[in-house]
């Protein structure tokens, strides 16, 4: 956030941080101001002080604001071509390479997983690839997000037609059961994914990942924060590990030297070995 934001805005942000543990000062100032303005319009107030008063008086407004700040839009196999490339160019060779006693292990991370469609798409891919051999593999898919409400929905594993915008529910029917018009994920797919709350700007990162997906998340962040997150992903990956970003997430400047492209169009990169200093602190605005 700008160094000299108005005191009313500071008070408002401090209140949000105190009530829900989310430090909004880390977001791009323009993004934050636009999101706040859209909630303020709903309540027909034009200053931060009045909006803070509304937040205090109506705790449910905090939920509405958080919904507005953490855009959870996602669906199964979003950007199908990226999943196809991931399958053919990353997972198939990786499985071939690891398919021997004592090496049948895969660690994947969906960072910014929203309501779970992305990590569950990974789980479905692995079921399709490994079939009846899956029980012989040690597979962990970590799925993290800042938004606890989205994580709750993800853990339930129950979806509406909206989540099947790119791949039809019919095509994925072996992995779902239809109950009262809603699609319930099969337990054997659900059990591959572990959901955790994690702030990409605040928490320490896991390690030894084979594949990290971080797609359509970094739009909220500044260039310095991108660099920080990319260098943390670099550390979180095993040697030769793979990072997949979204179509709008581009590595610029020196940070791009940490990865080499496997598939430029689909934003799939392989970690390049370097000797970076350990764990820098996240940049503040």
Ligand X SMILES: C[S@@+](CC[C@H](N)C(=O)[O-])C[C@H]1O[C@@H](n2cnc3c(N)ncnc32)[C@H](O)[C@@H]1O
Name the site residues for ligand X (rule: CB under 6 A).
70-74, 78, 112-114, 118, 145-147, 150, 198-201, 215-217, 220, 246
Distances (CA, A) of 171 to 58, 165, 175: 43, 12, 9
Give burial (CB, 10 Å; 0-12/13-18/19+) of 148. Answer: middle
Distance CA 65, CA 16 (A): 10
Closer to ligand X by Cβ: residue 106 or 114:
114
Q: CB nearer to ligand X: give 68 or 72.
A: 72
Q: Are strands 105-111 and 138-145 parallel, antiparallel or unpaired?
A: parallel
**Closest by Cα among 280, 282, 273 to 234:** 273
**Minimum gap (Å) between residue 245 Cβ and ligand X:** 10
Alpha carbon distance 250, 221 (integer Å): 12
Shortest spacing between CB 137 and ligand X, in angstroms: 24
Separation between Cα atoms, residue 199 and residue 146, nearest integer Å: 5
Q: What whole-number distance in Å separates Cα of residue 32 and Cα of residue 26?
A: 9
Least CB distance to ligand X at residue 69 (A): 8
CB of 118 to ligand X, least distance (A): 4
Distance in Å from the first CA to the final CA of the chain: 5
Tell me the closest approach of the beta carbon of residue 202 to ligand X, in angstroms: 7
Rounded to whole angstroms, the Cα distance separating 261 from 269 reads 4
**Dihedral in degrees, nearest 10, Cα atoms 104, 107, 108, 111:** 170
Q: Is the Cβ of residue 118 or residue 227 nearer to ligand X in the bound state?
A: 118
* Residue 147 or 210 having the CB closest to ligand X: 147
Nearer to ligand X, 74 or 231 (CB): 74
Q: Which is nearer to ligand X, 21 or 174 (CB)?
A: 21
Min separation Cβ 200 and ligand X, Å: 4
Residue closer to ligand X (CB basis): 113 or 237: 113
State how far the Cα of 211 lies from the Cα of 259, in Å rounded to an integer. 13
| Least distance to ligand X, CB of residue 26, Å | 7
């Amino acid at each position: 956030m700008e160094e000299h934001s108005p005191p009313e805005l500071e008070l408002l942000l401090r209140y949000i941080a105190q009530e829900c543990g989310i430090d909004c000062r880390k977001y791009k100032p323009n993004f934050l101001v636009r999101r706040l303005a859209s909630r303020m319009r709903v309540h027909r107030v034009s200053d931060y002080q009045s909006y803070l008063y509304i937040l205090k008086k109506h705790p449910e407004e905090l939920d509405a604001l958080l919904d507005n700040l953490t855009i959870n839009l996602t669906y199964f196999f979003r950007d199908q071509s990226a999943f196809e490339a991931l399958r053919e160019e990353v997972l198939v060779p990786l499985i071939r390479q690891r398919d021997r006693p004592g090496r049948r292990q895969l660690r994947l991370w969906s960072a910014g997983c929203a309501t779970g469609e992305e990590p569950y798409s990974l789980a479905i891919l692995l079921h399709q690839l490994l079939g009846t051999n899956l029980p012989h593999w040690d597979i962990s898919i970590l799925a993290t997000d800042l938004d606890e409400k989205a994580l709750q929905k993800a853990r339930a594993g129950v979806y509406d037609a909206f989540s099947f915008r790119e791949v039809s529910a019919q095509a994925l029917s072996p992995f779902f059961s239809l109950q009262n018009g809603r699609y319930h994920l099969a337990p054997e797919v659900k059990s591959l994914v572990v959901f955790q709350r994690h702030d990409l700007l605040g928490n320490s990162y896991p390690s030894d990942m084979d594949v990290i997906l971080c797609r359509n998340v970094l739009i909220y962040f500044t260039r310095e924060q991108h660099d920080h997150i990319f260098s943390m992903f670099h550390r979180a990956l095993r040697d030769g590990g793979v990072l997949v970003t979204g179509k709008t997430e581009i590595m610029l400047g020196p940070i791009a030297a940490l990865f080499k492209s496997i598939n430029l169009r689909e934003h799939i990169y392989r970690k390049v070995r370097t000797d970076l200093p350990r764990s820098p602190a996240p940049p503040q605005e």
